[in-house]
Structure 1
């Protein structure tokens, strides 16, 4: 694909924001009390142990609150912004991965969250973004139940298996 060809990335919406906070439980209470958010899941073991996933009602999470630096360094408040793809197939994800590689986009990792599979990558200023395909329907609470069941865990995906 040449530099002038149109990008195959089709984002349907900004799906979630992951924030670093001093106290995820206190922040979750604030988001619940002030914005009427529902606590969907708490992160189990792993790098984000102590994290909390919050929803406005339909999605498995709209805002996730992860333990951050107690100093709360400005400019380091968010972990990543999740962009839900318009397409929902792994073929769409494969095309996006190939496009990123062709363009020299720095990829952090690819993770299977159970509810979705996402490619985490960096913009030129070092902000982490994620494009993902939602694999479990958000209608009827199925994705919320799965995120709660797996405690927000994610498994690395080998890019050669995409």
Structure 2
């Protein structure tokens, strides 16, 4: 038994139409389908909703629920806003910079590109306040990648004991943070 892949991820939105138009016009996603009911199929709870699905490319599906009878949506105030985000991969650096220009032209503030060594990213928010990341992988040797992967268990173990960031891969953000 094993997981084949993520089928879809779903988030709440303030306005289904505005959300679909944002992802179509800004991120070039296709609007796939919609479910709408007066009650929740899994719980039978009365709660009208619009559930929209967008094609995020290569079999990846991004979905949103508009819940008009629920209290206004907010974000998790116990978690810094940079933590929870949706990251999409783009083809190359040119595409990343083209998206940055497109997003800024729509009047949306963009942070980056940020160099994470393994990839470079830009960050911005959708109309619902969800933080989005567009990322392009950067070339890295197989040897370096294997080294990073081999360090993961030891880093997790050290973090679990100390709750201090292990420095095994501190070089990854040297360009952005300097040497810590």
Q: TM-score, normalised by structure 1?
A: 0.42
Could you say which structure has the greater relative contact order, defined with CA pairs below 8 angstroms and 6 or more residues apart?
A: 1
Structure whose residues are more often helix by fraction: 2
Q: TM-score, normalised by structure 2?
A: 0.38
Q: Which has the larger radius of gyration?
A: 2
